[in-house]
Chain A
Amino acid sequence: MNKDPQKELRDFQVLGRAIPKKDARIKASGRAEYADDISMPGMLHGKLLHSPHAHARIVSIDTSRAAALPGVRAVVTGSDFPNIKFGNLPQTRDYLPLPMDTVRYIGEEVAAVAAVDEDTAEEAIDLLRVEYEPLPAVFDPEEAMQPGAPQLHANAPGNISAHSAFHFGDIDAAFAKSDYVREDVYETQAVKQGMLEPHACIGLWDNAGKVTLWSCKMSPYVTWRQLAMGLGLRPGDVRVVQTFVGGGFSGGKQEAMPMDFCAVLLSKKTGRPVKFVHTMDEVLTIGHMRHPMKIWLRTGTARDGKLLAQHCRLIANGGAYSSIGGFSMYLAGAMLNLPYRVPNIKYEAHRVYTNNGFCGALRGHTIPQFCFARDSQLELIAAELNLDPLDIRHRNALQPGDVTANGFRIGTFAFDECIERVAKLSGWRDKRGKLPKYRGIGFGCGSHLSGARLMGHSASAAEIKVQEDGTIQLTTGSTDVGQGADTVLSMIAAEVLGIEVDDVGFTRVDSQTTPVDPGTFGSRVTFFTGHAVKRAAEDARRQLAEIAAQKMGADPQDLVFRGREIFNPKDERQRIKLKDVVRWGAFQLGKIVSGRGSYAAADEKIDFRTGEGNLSPAYNPSACAVEVEVDPETGRVTVVGFWGADDSGTPLNPLGVKGQVLGATVMSIGHALYENLIRVDGQVMNPSFRDYKMPLATDLPKLADFQHSNVITWEPEGPFGAKEAGQGAGTGVLAALANAVYDATGVRLKRLPMTPENILFGIKRVREQKETRRP
């Protein structure tokens, strides 16, 4: 089904238009209600006590003084919970609502209070008396793997939290055959989500023993299950209501957090709703961040630069608990398969427990770190083999129809076009090697998938209620977290039914009424939920067509839905307003029109132990070029130009796509140059927006020099040809910046972030080396 996307875009009624986000106006007026904006009668305020120790046994907790403070209504500690561990994967259940006997990182939540106001709650926290017995702690993952290191979890000898390994082809033979082999080590740092809205929730335990949690969750159903498990309840007795989400990028908004459990249990004890809101320094001190990694990458190529073998060993500093870490380790290695053809692959990854805040998913998950290593090294290989950096990428580019070593089946994949589009936009060939000293341009590529098959865990469903005024109510279990799901899913439904986007009401998730869904992550929503919505709309359309056909004496197969009407193009007399069909069907025939659809892509299975299997129905290539100016006397980098191109299939809402790809890009710029959660002996030194530095408007190129282009393809697996947009675009940026800094200064940095200090001392070393080389 090779459609021409340009033609399809022209023919679409609604899709392909730059439609403003449906909730933009309410957000612009300040009337969108986020969790912290919600107030309920009798509501109490909660605060958390955090551990000052990196590793300690909890000997005792004296809550009496806190409980006695006027205005304090209840206190909870770990022993108030049923001691049921939960986690993201069955084999990684190592987390409790609050610790029973051991704290494992500085900042871990230990106890909580509920009081009549926040001031009193804060005062009460200071009155809690915890007796700790400090234990030896370990912060470096390689040390933690050594025999004799402090063990964080009894069931994880050697502090191995997760392990992933695979081997495809014959790596030893491939290296033996290679004309060129090199090995490099790359290191990446701890990076935080950095969203503006701190985690916030309200918990209610009502008289009937039912629990409700209002919270800004990206995955309400993951939260729902974890909440039920940790509380020892049936999921059916737990309700999670999604509020507007003020940014997420995964992390705590993807899962159940101690604050959620404490809110609910304190509500049980007090009979009142209890609200918790993190301060931003709490957000930056607790777990949930990107895995810092040490990546050994050994690559063998033919003389012409063709990749023959890649062997990657990876150690991830997982922190004190697992989160989604088991999957994280698989995913990094899976990226050995994208976006280049690598016939022989070997991968070994260890996620190691240390007494630091724990790590999990964060926009791109483990893909940006890996692509940083791989595309930095590719540049070095090209230089050594005297190859053009773009040529070596073209030479190895995956093509549509390829099957990768581990079984990814590549559909659309306009990688070559992405590379050329970037070369053209950036003026690469005019600039490379011709820029003034200390000005450089670098190229970087990456890739992403459109949602991961996680067996049935990837299923999404949609329901469409068709109303008598011709509007519809669209319900899914996926969340809009700012990325634009509300709008694009509404556009899909509107396209199928021939109505306007404003005719679609989009429902926020409420586990009581919306379909079960994994939530928003892994770039799955437009693709998986979009399919479900399309199917639900088609189901509704079938029902409406039958009613219309009956009313007009037409053949339902002949009917077209357009402009809020249903008509037969072959007979002008057969034309009726959609709403009239609904009314006639409802009031004359007693037919309620309701569409349902689901999509899971569960037909194929991944064997996560061997790494084999087609992880996603569709894959994106990403390419970008970055131009930098480096101040040679201070080492400071200024990004003066950025050009990116992605094959995201057919862009269903170009305004939304633009926001996603640019946002991902800027996050990666921060990751490369400025961001670093600095931990010294487990203590976060910079838990503030002042010192955890994210890019500001003055850190970026001007509009004219900051461009992204969609390479448009029609992905047959995707809904209306679409693929992901929002994570792939950030994956090539890290290497592009490293390569640009090298081009500008001759300094090759293999550790992130690339600070001015590292660059300056690198420049000095380069100068000294040049001088010593002179005869």
Chain B
Amino acid sequence: MTYLKRLPKFEYVSPQSLPEVCGLIAGTSNDEVMLLAGGTDAILQMRRRERVPRRVIGLKGVADLGLVREQADGSLAIGAMTTLQTLLSAPVVIRRYDLLRETAAQIGGYELRNVATVGGNIAGALPCADLPPALMTLGARVRLSSRRGDRWVPLEEFFPEFGRTVAENDELVAEINLPRPAPNSAGTYLKFHDRHSMDMTVVGVSAFVVRDDESRTFRDVRLAYASGAPTVFRAKRAEAVLRGQALTEEGLEAAAETACAESNPRTSWRANGAYRLELIRALTKRAIRRAWEKASSQTETKP
């Protein structure tokens, strides 16, 4: 029976650069130190006394973490402190990564999107987070920075188990990189909950497809899920069912069944596992179909 309290006492520092942040978290543990991005999760964790850090490191002043940049190789670099609002209104995202725009636009409302960050949505390791599945299906890689240097981790390898990421105590999520999408590709994110806005995701399905225009088959299919298992995950066996195939009802059924088999949704007072499986089944088919239609209807993406 936890009541929301006022925030606990902590020391606050606001570094202005990434190296400064890395210096501050070197040699610390998650108990002593907390990185504060948008705060939409962190503030509540502190209110509930789930986390009582000695020191809070505010990241809002780290300018190099807040940029959305097209790289020379055509990939997209998204700084971890990019807010959801900045992300969904960035011209390159609108033009080329509509799946990402669509996903971010379904999260919360104005107030939340104005402060919540891409990095926060990933680093929190919540199985119900919506950006990770969308990013996974876009082939995202995460750059982890520390005083020891940088390393890249594919997002689908980022969540080893419930509530945890592969980041070490002295590392922070600095950037997400997305490869340039193949031609004839599109994705969609279906976020299911009872009300029409604001709710925690009961089941989320991201489907990203690359269409072979000539043979009208799936050149590639990527499926990732929120609230389908203890971690966000890519359903690789389900993807394999459709890769190289045409879009058929049987194919969709088989992919959906396989996705169900790969899932492990929990039963909680919020929703039953059996119901979540029904949603996974239905929404997998729907998402793939929609992604396919989107890919078919759009012209070659412009640079």
Contacts and interface: CB of A to CB of B under 8 A. Distances in A.
- CB–CB under 8 A between A and B in the complex? yes
A762 interface: no
Nearest to B282: A633
Interface string A671-695: 0011000101001011000110101
Given A633-B286, A699-B196, A285 B279 contact: no
Interface in B4-53: 4-6
A279 B3 contact: yes
| Interface size of A as a range | 35 or more
A678 B269 contact: yes
A757 B275 contact: yes
Interface string B184-197: 00000000101111
Contact of B196 (A52, A633, A696, A755): A696
B265 to A, nearest CB: 12
A636 B1 contact: no
Choose among A50, A281, A757 the residue with the greatest number of B CB atoms under 10 Å from its CB: A757
B278 interface: yes
A674 B195 contact: yes
Interface string A268-297: 000000000001111001000000000000
B196 A756 contact: no
Interface in A736-775: 755-757, 760-761
Interface string A451-482: 00000000000000000000000000000000
Choose among B3, B4, B196, B199 the residue with the greatest number of A CB atoms under 10 Å from its CB: B3
Contacts of B195: 674, 693, 695-696, 698-699
A634 B6 contact: no
A444 to B, nearest CB: 21
A757 B1 contact: no
A312 to B, nearest CB: 30
Interface in B258-303: 269-272, 275, 278-279, 282-283, 286
B1 A106 contact: yes
B198 interface: yes
Choose among B1, B272, B286 the residue with the greatest number of A CB atoms under 10 Å from its CB: B1
Contacts, number: 65
Contact of B3 (A118, A282, A678, A680): A282
B6 A691 contact: no
A673 B269 contact: no
A696 B269 contact: no
A555 interface: no
A285 to B, nearest CB: 7
A674 B198 CA distance: 13
Contacts of B279: 634
A641 to B, nearest CB: 15
B194 A755 contact: yes
A282 B2 CA distance: 10
Contact of A680 (B1, B4, B269, B271): B269
Contact of B194 (A107, A636, A690): A636
B194 A685 contact: no
A62 interface: no
Nearest to A694: B195
A510 interface: no
A634 B283 contact: yes
A691 B270 contact: yes
Contacts of A122: 5-6
Nearest to A670: B195
Nearest to B190: A634
Interface in A332-346: none
B269 A693 contact: no
A279 B4 contact: yes
B200 interface: yes
Nearest to B270: A691
A650 to B, nearest CB: 37
Interface of B, helix, strand, loop or mixed by DSSP: loop
Contacts of A633: 278, 282-283, 286
A638 B196 CA distance: 8
Contacts of B269: 678, 680, 685-686
Contacts of A678: 269
A760 B192 CA distance: 14
A693 B6 contact: no
A281 B2 CA distance: 9
A693 B194 contact: yes
B197 A698 contact: yes
Interface in B105-128: none
A119 interface: yes
B278 A760 contact: yes
A673 B194 contact: yes
Contact of B198 (A280, A685, A696): A696
Contacts of A698: 195-197
B3 A52 contact: no
A431 B3 CA distance: 49
Contacts of B6: 118-119, 122
Contacts of A693: 194-195, 199
B295 to A, nearest CB: 22
A107 B6 CA distance: 19
B196 A634 contact: no
Contacts of B1: 50, 52, 106-107, 285, 683
B4 A281 contact: yes
Contacts of A685: 269
Nearest to A758: B275
A279 B279 CA distance: 35
Contacts of B286: 633
A50 B3 contact: yes
A281 B272 contact: no
Given A633-B286, A680-B269, A756 B194 contact: yes
A674 B197 CA distance: 12
A282 B269 CA distance: 20
Contacts of B272: 757
B228 to A, nearest CB: 14
A760 B272 CA distance: 12
B200 A634 contact: no
B194 A674 contact: yes
Contacts of A106: 1
Interface in B189-229: 192, 194-200
Nearest to A683: B1
Contacts of A756: 194, 275
Contacts of A686: 269
Contacts of A757: 271-272, 275
A683 B272 CA distance: 19
Interface in A91-106: 106
Interface in A633-660: 633-634, 636, 638
B203 to A, nearest CB: 9
A760 B281 CA distance: 13
A678 to B, nearest CB: 5
Contacts of A699: 195-197
Contacts of B192: 634, 636
A288 B192 CA distance: 31
A23 B293 CA distance: 53
A634 B282 contact: yes
A696 B197 contact: yes
Nearest to A106: B1
Nearest to A684: B1
Nearest to B279: A634
A695 to B, nearest CB: 7
Nearest to A755: B194
Top-10 shortest CB links A-B: A633-B282, A698-B196, A757-B275, A685-B269, A698-B197, A122-B5, A699-B196, A279-B4, A678-B269, A281-B4
Given A279-B3, A280-B4, A691-B270, 11 more contacts: A633-B283, A634-B278, A634-B279, A638-B196, A674-B194, A693-B199, A699-B197, A756-B275, A757-B271, A757-B275, A760-B275
Interface of A: 50, 52, 106-107, 118-119, 122, 279-282, 285, 633-634, 636, 638, 673-674, 678, 680, 683, 685-686, 690-691, 693, 695-696, 698-699, 755-757, 760-761
10 contacts: A106-B1, A118-B6, A122-B6, A281-B3, A638-B196, A678-B269, A690-B198, A698-B196, A698-B197, A757-B275
